[in-house]
Amino acid sequence: MLSHLNLEATELRLGLPGSDDLPSTNKRPSPEDHQTPPAPKAQIVGWPPVKSYRKSTAAAKSAEAESGMYVKVSMDGAPYLRKIDIKLYDGYSHLLTALEDMFKLSIGEYSEREGYKGSEYAPAYEDKDGDLMLVGDVPWEMFMSSCKRLRIMRGADARGLASAQH
Amino acid sequence: MAYSFPEEVLELVLSFLRSDRDRNAVSLVCWSWYEIERWCRHRLFIGNCYAVSPEIVIRRFPEVRAVEMKGKPHFADFNLVPEGWGGYVQPWIRAMAASYPSLEEIRLKRMVVTDESLDLIARSFKYFKVLVLSSCEGFTTDGLASIAANCRNLREIDLRESEVEDLSGHWLSHFPDNCTSLVSLNMSCLGSEVSFPALERLVGRCPSLRTLQLNRAVPLEKLPNLLHRAPQLVEFGTGAYSAEIRPDIYSNVAEAFSVCKQLRGLSGFWDVVPAYIPAMYSACAGITSLDLIYAAIQSPDLVKLISLCPRLQCLWVLDYIEDAGLEALAASCKDLQELRVFPSDPFEAEANVALTEQGLVSVSEGCPKLQSVLYFCRQMSNAALITIARNRPEMVRFRLCIIEPQAPDYLTLEPLDTGFGAIVENCKQLRRLSMSGLLTDRVFEYIGKHAKKLEMLSIAFAGDSDMGLDHVLSGCDSLRKLEIRDCPFGDKALLANAAKLETMRSLWMSSCLVSYGACKLLAQKMPRLNVEVIDERGHPNSRPETCPVEKLYIYRTVAGRRVDMPDFIWTMDKDAGNPEAFVSNGAVEMVGDA
């Protein structure tokens, strides 16, 4: 019944992302490591265990610099939502690639005039005023500060959105 | 015996029993005592909303006036419980609206509360007095408006740490002009500005107001308006504690604080401007509780402040306090019972402040009444933990988070087993323990052997094998809640200790090695448990039975499997031959396990 567990067959990893074994020594970068700039440290979900609303209030940081700008992402037809941290992305293409990965779909090319023409799905978001907007129209920084929620719409519904906004 | 106490006498005697444990014990003596007790239990505590159903509760306890209930597992605080998990209060409110017309108090923690629920509360309970929503979500300020408008006798509305959709600040204006009963108002979690004139008037007409916790949007300059109208305040939470540096603002604020002679607790202090800190000095002599977790105050200013608070019993502070500040705390505050030090920059690997294990050691040396600790730091040693354990054997709650997972003793590079071992061996009254750092199965051996009063244990990135879990489950006699993440604990220990799980409120395991097959087996062995598998990769059937599940939540229940789960949670099937519908004596323990 309880046969030997083959860890490699599962996708679960113990230990930190990016490490291949359970580290047993304190990992501090050695001086030689400073040749290449260190990759941004992947955050472990829920660690350290601080409640999300208790963000850092360091005097040097403004409210925008707090770690984590989580928004809910829904996809038309999917039974449950996801949550992503927009701060982890450095621009629209990065974000859209991540969404394509997460939901296993293709989003296609953005054009100001026609939105996401030719793709099955198009990304939209709810802004501060509660309006549904097509992702990509405004500069990335403005999007980051005004996006409250993301919604991946079916292409047909979204085309209505694109033409309504232009 | 040919005679027995008249019921009225027994009922009078029972009315002196406040603790649920005592009442549960009384209920087990005989059926007539069970009957008498259930008719006179007016306060209900339900530690897990899924352990029992509204119908069972209402059938057993017909005269309830106060309900306290908890929903999501504790790890929901750290985003480990996916959205949509459950914890909906609506079915409870609906049932209680029909059966408890005299309900006065509702206290909820980690539950999903909708505007519909709040509206139903507001309209169903004529004598409603107390609403406490701690770490709840799902409602908007519209729901609050309904409570404000309809609850004629409202005494307490406390939204601590809840996520409220802030549609507008106007909800506060819905308190009618003849509402003068408010004793406690905590709106610190709200984002938007409330109508200040409405707030002023409300505060001014409630002479019994003892607790007022504002939100960040209330500016510092307005504080005097409120404090002058409520000089009797005992607990006060400021809004943003910043303003242009002007002598008139300063003197107004300072004067307002001096007028409040009963102040015992202070909180708030968003965006602190250091120049304004001395304005609160007049309150310090009497202060017993100080919550500075939103305040970016540097160590020297903190030292000055704390040295003026000799009566301090509870301090929540950021790690800006540093070792030096904690030393000052140890020197000044001999009444200190509870200390929580939070990280100002939790996601930074390198330390941004000079806070180490030494700060905690100093406090453990200097504060003889210290019994409750929550401490975030970046280095720890066995020597420090052993010292702390020997200094404070009466410790009751000890939660240590070393920010780097699996960090060893920084001096010896060994695991921290002996350090935590010393904690459990010396602190015989320990009820709650959270561990971190590099830990092997050895630490669990110590815990199983010594931690006999331990009720709640939190483990992360620790242990080597199933033996670790086995030590805990077989040794910790008082264990009620166990939460584990990222540990190599699997099927063997869980199945070998299946019966133990029915003596506990709940077990959470995520990113461990418990297989789907074991979950199914456990559920069949233990029909009075709900074994819930949470897996966002799709149904476990689509993977081999030996494949570990992502997350597992197991809890005892007399309510059977729940029906409100999202698509990524499955309750394992129980043995078909075992009826779940009857209420056994297990249920007596279930309702009111504190």
* DSSP E strand boundaries for chain A: 70-75, 82-85, 121-126, 132-134, 149-154
Q: Which two tokens stand for residue A64?
A: 């925008």
Q: Are B286 and B264 in contact (CB under 8 A)?
A: yes
Helix (H, G, I), strand (E, B) or coil at B318: strand
What pLDDT does A34 receive? 43
CA distance B585 to chain A (A): 34
Which ranges of chain B have pLDDT less than 70? Answer: 1-4, 576-594
Which among B249, B241, B242 has a CA at the least distance from the CA of B267?
Answer: B241
Q: Is the pLDDT of residue A9 over 80?
A: no
Residues of chain B with Cβ-Cβ distance to A14 below 8 Å are 461, 486-488, 511
Which among B193, B245, B187, B246 has a CA at the least distance from the CA of B219?
Answer: B193
CA-based angle A98:A83:B546, to the nearest 5? 85
Q: Which of A15, A51, A83 sits opposite B83 (nearest CB)?
A: A83
Q: Is the pLDDT of residue A26 over 80?
A: no
What pLDDT does A42 receive? 62
The residues, ordered by sequence, that sit 6+ positions from A141 with a Cβ below 8 Å of its Cβ are: none
DSSP-assigned states of every residue in B544-576: -TTSBPSEEEEEE-SS-S-S---TTEEEPP--T
User: Hey, how many other C-beta atoms are within 10 angstroms of the C-beta on A42?
Assistant: 9
User: What's the average model confidence in pLDDT over A112-117?
Assistant: 79
**Amino acid present at B26:** V
H helix or E strand, kind and range, residue B55: helix B54-60
Q: Where are the alpha helices (DSSP H) in B159-210?
A: 196-205
pLDDT for B60-91, tens place per residue? 999 999 999 999 999 999 999 999 999 999 99
Q: Where are the alpha helices (DSSP H) in B135-246?
A: 141-150, 196-205, 223-229
Does A18 contact chain B (CB < 8 Å)? no
For the entire predicted model, the pTM comes to: 0.80
CA-based angle B549:B555:B561, to the nearest 5? 85
A58·B521 Cβ contact <8 A: no
What pLDDT does A69 receive? 79
What pLDDT does A164 receive? 59
The residues, ordered by sequence, that sit 6+ positions from A8 with a Cβ below 8 Å of its Cβ are: none
What pLDDT does B15 receive? 87
ipTM confidence = 0.88
Q: Are A72 and A149 in contact (CB under 8 A)?
A: yes
What pLDDT does B573 receive? 92
Residues of chain A with Cβ-Cβ distance to B533 below 8 Å are none
From the number of C-beta atoms within 10 Å of its C-beta (0-12, 13-18, 19+), residue A132 rates as: middle
B77·A26 Cβ contact <8 A: no
What pLDDT does B590 receive? 55
H helix or E strand, kind and range, residue B154: none
Give chain B's end-to-end CA distance (angstroms, integer). Answer: 34
DSSP assignment, residue A121?
E
Q: Which residues of B17-41 are buried (b: 16+ CB within 10 A; e: fewer)?
A: beebeebbebbeeeeebeebbbebb
Residues of chain A with Cβ-Cβ distance to B404 below 8 Å are 26-27
From the number of C-beta atoms within 10 Å of its C-beta (0-12, 13-18, 19+), residue B92 rates as: buried
What pLDDT does A94 receive? 87
Higher pLDDT pick, B385 / A63: B385
Residues 82..101 of A with a Cβ closer than 8 Å to B: which? 83
**Amino acid present at B395:** M
Residues of chain B with Cβ-Cβ distance to A87 below 8 Å are none
User: What's the average model confidence in pLDDT over A103-113?
Assistant: 82
